A and B are shown apart, each in its own frame.
Chain A
Amino acid sequence: MIEVTGLTKRYGDFTAVRDLSFTVRPGEVLGLVGPNGAGKTTTLRSVAGIIPPNAGTVRIAGHDLATDPVAAKRALAFFPDEPRLFEYLTVRQHLAFVARIYGVADHAAIAQPLLDELEIADKADELPGALSRGMKQKLAIACGLLHGPSVMFFDEPLTGLDPLGIRRMKDSILKRARAGATIVLSSHLLHLLEEVCSHVLILKQGEKIADGTLAEVAARFSEGAPDVSLEDVFIRATGGSEK
């Protein structure tokens, strides 16, 4: 479960995120949407414990991220838009390193099914430099899932993936959500979010415009029109501009 209350993040005079509150329950997939510069990535990085917010509280799986960061981080996994890998570690060595950091006993028994599921088992002894963009993404996901996180953050998870990769990524996210994980993801690909997310949160200039289930948010901005898409909702909610 993720509970965010009054989250504010400033960079000098510029406020990237202002007084943001939301809750995501186990099994829910929240889609963070907004124009460029709306504060999506800053929100994700703040709730994942990467950058400290200026105000507000974040609770991950019941642990306060500010007062008990180690317990909170033990429960989460963050997947950046660009896979961040160690150039000199093979796929297998990445998993061994992450296992030691999280204290995952007998990690090989967990890693092998993960590698099989993500279809990178045959690349286990390759360095990241020898992997394609999609393979790197899969390795980053395997590393993130190794310790069995109950909360997951995906920043633009579909960037750089081919159609097959996008399909598998969506299936993987839905599978984790059905298994009880709490998931937040940000993406500009609205039609894809519609397929994956149960909830949506629209940000503009660091402030929340709307949040709720897809149906709730659609109803609020549909102006009575039936079958409005998330794209239509997004354009109506944000006024069709970044400012």
Chain B
Amino acid sequence: MNSAMLGALLYLRLTSLKNLVLSRVRRLRQPKYLVGALVGAAYFYFVVFGRAFGRGGRAGAPARVAFVPAGGFMPHDTAPLALALGAFALLVVFVFMWVLPSQKPGLLFSEAETAFLFPAPITRRALIHYKLLSAQFSVLLQSLFFSLVFNGRGLVSGHAFQVLIGWWLILTFVNLHYMGASLTIARLIDRGTSTLRRRAAVLGGIALVVVVTIAWVWRDLRAPAPADLAGADPFARWLLTILDGGLLHWLLLPFKLVLAPFFATGLGPFLIALGPALLLLGALYFWVMRMEASFEEASLAQAEKRATRRAARRAGNYRLGQAAAKARRPPFALADTGRPEFAFLWKNLLSTRAFFDARTWLVGASLIVFGSRLLARMGPAQQGILSGLGVAALILAGYTLAFGPLVARLDLRADLGNADILKTYPLPGWRIVLGELLAPVAILTGIVTLALLLALCAFQPSEHASAWLAPELRATYAVCFAALTPALVALQLLVPNAAAIVFPAWFQAVRTPGGGIDLMGQRLIFVFGQIFIIVLALIPAALTAALLVFVTQWLIGPMLSVIFATVVVLAVIVGELWCGLWWLGGRFERFDLSAELRP
């Protein structure tokens, strides 16, 4: 690559970086970004860096030991195992790089880069150089970030150089190998090697290594004896013997060479370890530059796909992570007339996995009822398993209720891109909002009720258990909790949907991956805001329930008091929900995404 071309490409990269930094700094003039940046910075200072540098945490509690290079911090007997495990982890990452690509991989260029650089008089080798240079910018930033987060103590104790170089070597090694693997796979595909054959070859190689290693362990070593599993130290020693011998030793050697400077115990060993690591990087660089493979077509397709995803996000479409678009049978027959809210339920269920339907729920419920009865009759050991399942089911129900609404986004948030069309429908706003909430409510309620059923069937309390855990009362709890679940889920879903309508520009930015410390702070504000609002909304209901059970249990007995409290709590939550729907519906009627997104 001649120097003029290199200068032009460097100019492009440096100017883009400078403008990116400037635009991020300039947007801090807007309060929402400034507040986000302050919150993000506070999070990093107190939570991430605080832990890494030994600050924060409970008073008097020992600071968490940060992940540091061996030099001065890591015990000498731990360093070899950490080195071997790190090398093994890198090996796994590299195997995935060879196995995962299902289509012809290309080097990742932006749409603008493909438009300007591909037709320009630049050789393919120059383009690869450009990508290598571009990657170095992010590698350097990542090295700094990882050093700060994982090796803060190493940085402030005179090992900054070793830490930074150590991370740079590892990340550059991974990056170079990724480019080399992508180009090699592209060339293999050009030569007619199918994805299946490539995967079979790689996985076959892995299987061979596994078989040889097992055979070697079998012949020369021994399976872990009870003494090896007695504690962390003996097990670590046994594991190191496996990772450091036989075929695995040779397979992990290049990875250990790259990791060696990071784990070096001082400046001398570090400088000695640096030579082989740099030689290895040189070899990878030579491999990448010698690779004659056409990547342009695949790069164009990738750039186009990324641009489409970005445009969809900007338009308010957040359907990522959902089922791939595929025509399928509707979840239920939709009559021509009736409540229009169910049309939204029908539509949104069509965009999920096919197994989210009533039939799956019924099969699951039947399996739980009959399976738990079978296990209960088999004996004490199986009853123990059943109790364990019961505990797991209760945890699942709790997690689904708490975090499900954050994950399930088959509601108004996923339909913001179609807001113009939704608003032309002859429906008041609250009906549209309610209809949009029904699918995630139905799915999460289905999961929670199945978990409750399992917990109900699984627990067999002892005879000495409290009267409050009598079988009929447990059944009452389960039924009451199941009755509250749809309203609780809907109430939680209202908050992020309201955020999407009331702060659309902010919400859009927050949903966009990456974006800097200010956006990270904004995401934190959203999460904590949601938790705060939900707690605030549930306090009246929880206080009412506690008071009612406390007072009425003496008059009408525990079971009726729980049912009575549930009915009252349900009324409180439905009332809150109704107010929320009414208010959010009005906001939706006045909602104008294009106005919100005006610069």
A-contact bits for B321-351, CB 8 A (1 contact / 0 none): 0010111001000111110101100110011
Chain A interfacial residues counted at CB < 8 A: 39
**A78 near B424 (CB under 8 angstroms)?**
yes
Contacts of B338 in A (CB 8 A): 100
Set B317, B336, B418, B598: member contacting A100, Cβ < 8 A: B336
**B589 near A106 (CB under 8 angstroms)?**
no
Contacts of A97 in B (CB 8 A): 334, 343, 346-347
**B425 near A50 (CB under 8 angstroms)?**
no
**B319 near A87 (CB under 8 angstroms)?**
yes
| B590 sits at the interface (CB 8 A) | yes
B-contact bits for A85-100, CB 8 A (1 contact / 0 none): 0111110010011011
Contacts of A80 in B (CB 8 A): 420-421
A-contact bits for B557-599, CB 8 A (1 contact / 0 none): 0000000000000000000000000000000011010110010
Residue in chain A with minimal CB distance to B317: A87
| B187 sits at the interface (CB 8 A) | no
| B428 sits at the interface (CB 8 A) | yes
Give B348-392 interface residues, CB cut-off 8 Å to A. Answer: 350-351
| A30 sits at the interface (CB 8 A) | no
Binds B, one of A32-40, A69-77, A214-222: A69-77
**B425 near A73 (CB under 8 angstroms)?**
yes
A107 to B343, CA, bound (A): 14
Contacts of A225 in B (CB 8 A): none
A45 to B351, CA, bound (A): 28
Residue in chain B with minimal CB distance to A108: B336
Residue in chain B with minimal CB distance to A51: B592
**A100 near B426 (CB under 8 angstroms)?**
no
**A52 near B590 (CB under 8 angstroms)?**
yes
A70-B426, A100-B343, A102-B426 are contacts. A107–B589 as well, Cβ < 8 Å? no
Contacts of B421 in A (CB 8 A): 78, 80, 84
Residue in chain B with minimal CB distance to A104: B336
A126 to B327, CA, bound (A): 7
Contacts of B337 in A (CB 8 A): 100, 103-105
A86-B418, A125-B327, A127-B326 are contacts. A50–B424 as well, Cβ < 8 Å? yes
Q: How large is the interface on B (under 10, 10 to 19, 20 to 34, 35 or more residues)?
A: 35 or more
A51-B595, A86-B347, A101-B340 are contacts. A77–B335 as well, Cβ < 8 Å? no
A87-B325, A87-B351, A101-B343 are contacts. A50–B423 as well, Cβ < 8 Å? yes
| A129 sits at the interface (CB 8 A) | yes
**B336 near A84 (CB under 8 angstroms)?**
no
A87-B319, A104-B336 are contacts. A50–B426 as well, Cβ < 8 Å? no
A-contact bits for B406-433, CB 8 A (1 contact / 0 none): 0000000000011011011111100000
**B418 near A84 (CB under 8 angstroms)?**
yes
| A212 sits at the interface (CB 8 A) | no
A51-B595, A86-B418, A87-B319 are contacts. A127–B325 as well, Cβ < 8 Å? yes
| A49 sits at the interface (CB 8 A) | yes
**B336 near A52 (CB under 8 angstroms)?**
no
**B598 near A11 (CB under 8 angstroms)?**
yes
Give A96-155 interface residues, CB cut-off 8 Å to B. Answer: 96-97, 99-107, 125-127, 129
Residue in chain B with minimal CB distance to A52: B590
Smallest beta-carbon distance A165→chain B, Å = 21
**A100 near B590 (CB under 8 angstroms)?**
no
Offer 13 A-B interface pairs, CB within 8 angstroms, sorted by A: A45-B594, A49-B423, A50-B420, A70-B428, A71-B426, A84-B418, A87-B351, A88-B325, A96-B330, A96-B336, A101-B425, A104-B337, A126-B327
Q: Which A residues form the contact surface with B (CB < 8 A)?
A: 11-12, 45, 48-52, 69-71, 73-74, 76-78, 80, 84, 86-90, 93, 96-97, 99-107, 125-127, 129
**19 new A-B pairs (CB below 8 Å) besides A70-B427, A87-B325?**
A11-B595, A11-B598, A52-B590, A69-B589, A73-B424, A74-B426, A80-B420, A80-B421, A84-B418, A86-B347, A88-B325, A97-B343, A97-B347, A100-B335, A101-B340, A105-B336, A105-B337, A126-B327, A127-B326
Top 9 nearest A-B pairs (CB, nearest first) are A88-B351, A100-B343, A74-B426, A73-B426, A51-B592, A78-B424, A84-B421, A70-B426, A50-B423
